[in-house]
Amino acid sequence: MKYWISGGLIAMALTGGIALADSADSEWAPETFTLSNGMDVVVLPDHRAPVVTHMVWYKVGAVDEDPGKSGIAHLFEHVMFKETDDLEDGEFDSTISRLGGQHNAFTSWDYTAYYQRVAKQHLGKMMELEAERMTDLIIDEDPEGSFITERDVVREERRQRIDNNPGVILQEKVLAEFWEGHPYEITVIGRMEEVEALTPQDGIDFYQKYYSPENAILVVAGDVTGEEVRALAEQHYGAIEPSGLVDGTRMWTDVPPLTETQEIVHSDPKVRQPVWYRYYNGTSQKRDRDFALALDVGLDVLGGGNTSLLYVALVEEQKVAVNAGTFAWTGLHDNGPAVIYATPSPGVSMEELEAAVTAELAKQLAAGFSDADVVRVRNSKAASSIYARDSQQSMANQFGSWLAIGGEIEDLLTYPEDVRAVSTEDALAAARQVFAEGNHYIEALLLPEDGEL
Amino acid sequence: MRISTLFGGAALALLLSACAPTAIDGGADEPNSEATGLDVQIHDGEFATIQQFTTPGGVSVWLVEEPSIPILSLRMAWQAGETTDPEGQEGLTNAMVYHMNEGAGDLEAQAFFKRMEELNMSFACGATNESTYCNASMLTDNVGDSFEMIALAFAEPRFDDGPFERFKREQEVSLQTRETNARYLASRARAAALYPDHAYARETSAESLAAITQDGMRAQKDKLMVQEGMLVTAVGAISPEELAPLIDQAVAGLPATSETSETEDVVLAAAAADPIVIDLPQPQSLVTFAAPAMKREDPDFYTAVVLNYTFGGGGFESRLMKDLRVEKGLTYGVYTQVSSEDKIQLWSGGGQTKNESAGEFIAGVKANMAQMVAEGMTEEELSAAKAYLTGSYPLGFDSNAKIAANMMGVRLDGLPVDFFDKRNAMVEAVTLEDVNRVAADYLNPDNFTFIIVGQPQGLDG
């Protein structure tokens, strides 16, 4: 916590020094403990407003689906909002809404998370509701019942998220190739024909296998103390018996590196702005944290935003692109791609764009990074930890998602200093490694229907 | 709730000491306690303690002091926006705000961006039809340097050739991509159907872009961003005495005042009898609908808010979601909203459904409207709506950024500082009789113009 001293304004204006992002706030810390049934608990205190964010993260996601059952993790997340022993269909939602709560859920390859945001005095009720559907969900086996209706809803969700959007259709095709042979190759929402064939029995099997306290992490952020959360959690979750069915085995596996270079084109009459991408083998923070942090810094220097080397060269100076950059998916449990992309300026062909981008990439990687650029990027990343503190939800998401893939809390707490420890050489070496000449990649082109610009 | 007038830091001590039995009379009215000359009104509200003051330079500020995180969220706004674009220069205000962080003083765009990154601050401006705004966030350790950047941007924005050319390239692309953007196509069709001749139907075109110049942007900035009428809200670890001079420094380079003309109220055309279809090759149709609503100050406004929750605004608690998603599986989501802006008031909504079921989706929306008009809401629905709308209100005050944004919303709407405290009572005061009368007046399906983007089927039914 930081206090202003009298006349601080003047002193500050004179010194003009740039503060390091974590210099003012070293006292804050989360609390963690584990219930006797194996359920992990994390408390993230934030006493600014009498509000809490309550989340339950299950260590199951699309990665764990059986062959032919793609989409069950996500469809099941929808089903979790239906009937239980004590709650009629719709009562879960109406109970929370009448307490002024907001709630939802999301599914990833690596985890499934449910949350409520509510005034602090209702935290116990939220736990009661989550505990109820952890143990006593009723899956509707009626062939015209709510499981089947929800399946139709998910098919509409898939149309809305993917099938209506040419850019997302292309991404789905590319990722299927990028992760071929790994469970991530299927998009989280599942293949349309497999979703269509999911049955209530699939839901029952999934529920019994994965929904259990020893497979769950409770995250509470907001106006509570560790003691308050412990008492409520013991009361509502503590009595739930572990199912004994969860052996903690996840379907994570090494991502096979690309063994050939290929091109994937998606043309669509709705495309009015072509986009050029290359997907290379990347890494993950979970599997190789040091390398992932170095890569994140390196790709920000190279192509993260409008002060990056590629953006300045291709957009500002050569004017061949209206946007260009690089980024890596390092937040999944298993390795994600490192991506370079550009969108051409009006009148620039994809061939001209590709030539300009690849030439500039080679040039910048050969020339190396300046310390000033690396320091600026590192500090921005460190400062993001401070700005994240302004949102209960982003704090809860940060901690929950990292723990759900088996990460250590310490890694989140030391992130600012760890990212500042990335040297110019580390950042450059990481970028050079993923984009090395001779590496295989998937080139992806989003084009108008006639393939012309 | 309590409002008191305080004079600088000395009076803060007085406020604290007033609780103590030994409190003595003195201090508050002494002229020499006004070293900073700042007259701070403290509104100790239910959701936030808001300090109101006018800087020595004349800028009106609402501040919430929040010491627990070392960041400051800052919002600045003016009550005139894109509608002031001269005829034939549509997009001028948008162009101007784009350039506000693209270099100032001696710092060209790249140097300006890099300096902001070094300070870990953000600063960017934007505009709506009726407002122009700039938002900033910064680390409290860097507020002095960060405000210097804002001051420089306000006083000496460069409007350089490089960013201007880039802006035009981006706009050229955007003129293309918008033609296959379902939401854009729906909003354009709505304007064409309901207010084709109003300023809100004007849009950027290749011709209007070509007419925009750097001098034009400078003039537009001097018209829209002036000291007079500027609104500021801030939340963070900073006191009024510290913030006031920073703001005065920031706005020193802005013109004192300017003339802008007021936008005329939108007069909506009669609803289209048949759905308007915009062809777009995709598997799902976007269905939107809109009808007249009431002004913000209309006594029925909160009745409409309550009714809207039950009809289509309340997520899974709304009738439309329960029917079209949960019962029929026709959509991933359907919603309605009441948007009561100063010059245009619409009750609108929408959702997406596969092309094959577009007709069924629209029929379902209309049937729910007709049922609400004919039968109204139940007591149970009314109490559920009030419970959610009042109970969820504190969720909007759990972050610096949200509080700063909510205060600015209140200020732009011309609402009083105790609005947050009184709002729930206005929701509670709504009666079933009110709701059912407003439903009959506003939710008649014939009031609504339906617009569908996609390749919808089954519209004949």
A438 shares contact with chain B (CB less than 8 Å): no
Q: How far is B388 from chain A (nearest CA, A)?
A: 4
Instruction: Please give the residue range of the domain that contains residue A61.
Output: 31-236
- Most B CBs within 10 A among A116, A151, A163, A270, hence the mutation to make, goes to A270
The DSSP symbol for A84 reads B
B165 shares contact with chain A (CB less than 8 Å): yes
CATH 3.40.50.720 given to domain B276-396+416-454: no
Mean pLDDT of A194-220: 97
Q: In this predicted structure, what is the pLDDT of residue B461?
A: 59
- Most A CBs within 10 A among B332, B380, B428, hence the mutation to make, goes to B332
Q: Which of B66, B182, B317 sits opposite A94 (nearest CB)?
A: B317
Q: Is the pLDDT of residue B35 over 70?
A: no
CA dihedral for B12, B13, B14, B20, sign (positive or negative): positive
Q: In this predicted structure, what is the pLDDT of residue A144?
A: 86
In a domain, A14, yes or no: no
Which residue of chain B is at minimal alpha-carbon distance from A344? B173
Q: Do domains B3-251 and B276-396+416-454 have the same CATH topology?
A: yes
Residues A102, A116 contacting (CB under 8 angstroms): yes
Mean pLDDT of chain B: 92
Residues A213 and A300 grouped into a single domain: no
Q: Which residue has the tokens 């495309």?
A: A271
B116 shares contact with chain A (CB less than 8 Å): no
B182 neighbourhood in chain A, CB within 8 Å = 164
In whole angstroms, how far apart are CA B295 and each of B83, B199, B433, B450?
Answer: 19, 19, 20, 22
In a domain, A243, yes or no: no
Residues A224 and A267 grouped into a single domain: no
Which residue of chain A is at minimal alpha-carbon distance from B454? A164
B245 shares contact with chain A (CB less than 8 Å): yes
Q: Are B329 and A156 inside 8 Å of each other by CB?
A: yes
Residues A225 and A357 grouped into a single domain: no
Give the number of domains in chain A: 2
Q: Which of B172, B242, B322 sits opposite A8 (nearest CB)?
A: B242
A321-328 vs A337-344, strand pairing mode = antiparallel
Which CATH class for the B3-251 domain? alpha beta
Q: How far is A378 from chain B (nearest CA, A)?
A: 10
In a domain, A248, yes or no: no
CATH label of the domain that carries residue A141: 3.30.830.10
Mean pLDDT of B314-325: 95
B280 neighbourhood in chain A, CB within 8 Å = 270
Active-site pick, A77, A83, A130, A172: A77
Q: What is the pLDDT of residues B266-277, one digit of tens each?
A: 999 999 999 999
Residues A409 and A278 grouped into a single domain: yes
Residues A213 and A332 grouped into a single domain: no
Q: In this predicted structure, what is the pLDDT of residue A373?
A: 98
ipTM of the complex: 0.90
Q: In this predicted structure, what is the pLDDT of residue A26?
A: 55
In a domain, A113, yes or no: yes
Q: What is the pLDDT of residues B188-201, one digit of tens each?
A: 999 999 999 999 99
Q: What is the pLDDT of residues B113-166, one digit of tens each?
A: 999 999 999 999 999 999 999 999 999 999 999 999 999 999 999 999 999 999
- Most A CBs within 10 A among B284, B383, B399, hence the mutation to make, goes to B399
Q: What is the pLDDT of residues A233-278, one digit of tens each?
A: 999 999 999 988 887 889 999 999 999 999 999 999 999 999 999 9
| Nearest in space to B284 (alpha carbons), one of B206, B353, B345, B219 | B353
Q: What pairs with residue A342 in β-bridges? A: A276, A324
Q: Which residue would you say has higher pLDDT here, A13 or B109?
A: B109
Q: Are A306 and B314 inside 8 Å of each other by CB?
A: no
Q: Is the pLDDT of residue B11 over 50?
A: no
Q: Are B120 and A315 inside 8 Å of each other by CB?
A: no
CA atoms of B334 and B319, how far apart (whole Å): 10
Q: In this predicted structure, what is the pLDDT of residue A449?
A: 86
CA atoms of A405 and A111, how far apart (whole Å): 7
Q: Where are the domains of chain B?
A: 3-251, 276-396+416-454
Q: What pairs with residue A448 in β-bridges? A: A268
For residue B359, the one-letter residue type is: G
Residues A224 and A269 grouped into a single domain: no
A88 shares contact with chain B (CB less than 8 Å): no
Residues A204 and A290 grouped into a single domain: no
Residues in chain B: 461
Q: Is the pLDDT of residue B10 over 90?
A: no
Residues A198 and A306 grouped into a single domain: no
Which residue of chain B is at minimal alpha-carbon distance from A309? B110
Residues A45 and A175 grouped into a single domain: yes
| Catalytic residue flag (residue A77) | yes
Q: How far is A147 from chain B (nearest CA, A)?
A: 10
Q: How far is B51 from chain A (nearest CA, A)?
A: 17
A266 shares contact with chain B (CB less than 8 Å): no
A380 neighbourhood in chain B, CB within 8 Å = 117, 120
Q: Are B245 and A9 inside 8 Å of each other by CB?
A: yes
B215 shares contact with chain A (CB less than 8 Å): no
Q: Is the pLDDT of residue A282 over 70?
A: yes
Q: How far is B258 from chain A (nearest CA, A)?
A: 32
Residues A220 and A282 grouped into a single domain: no
Q: How far is B316 from chain A (nearest CA, A)?
A: 7
Scanning B406-435 for CB atoms below 8 A from A yields: none
Mean pLDDT of chain A: 92
The string of DSSP codes covering A138-203 is -----TTSHHHHHHHHHHHHHIIIIIT-HHHHHHHHHHHHHTTTSGGGS-TT--HHHHHT--HHHH
Q: Which residue has the tokens 């009808």?
A: B291
Q: Which of B68, B142, B395 sits opposite A51 (nearest CB)?
A: B395
B394 shares contact with chain A (CB less than 8 Å): yes
In degrees and rounded to multiples of 5, residue B82 shows phi and psi of -65, -25
- Listed in order, strand segments (DSSP E) in B22-131 are 39-44, 49-54, 60-65, 71-78, 103-104, 107-108, 122-127
Q: In this predicted structure, what is the pLDDT of residue A28?
A: 83
pLDDT-above-70 percentage for chain A: 93
Q: In this predicted structure, what is the pLDDT of residue B420?
A: 98
Residues A168 and A90 grouped into a single domain: yes
Mean pLDDT of A332-344: 98
B390 neighbourhood in chain A, CB within 8 Å = 100
Q: Is the pLDDT of residue B31 over 90?
A: no
Q: What is the pLDDT of residues B410-435, one digit of tens each?
A: 999 999 999 999 999 999 999 999 99
Residues B146, B140 contacting (CB under 8 angstroms): no
Q: Is the pLDDT of residue B360 over 70?
A: yes
A115 neighbourhood in chain B, CB within 8 Å = none
Mean pLDDT of B213-242: 98
Q: How many CA atoms lie within 13 A of A81 on its CB side?
A: 23
B55 neighbourhood in chain A, CB within 8 Å = none
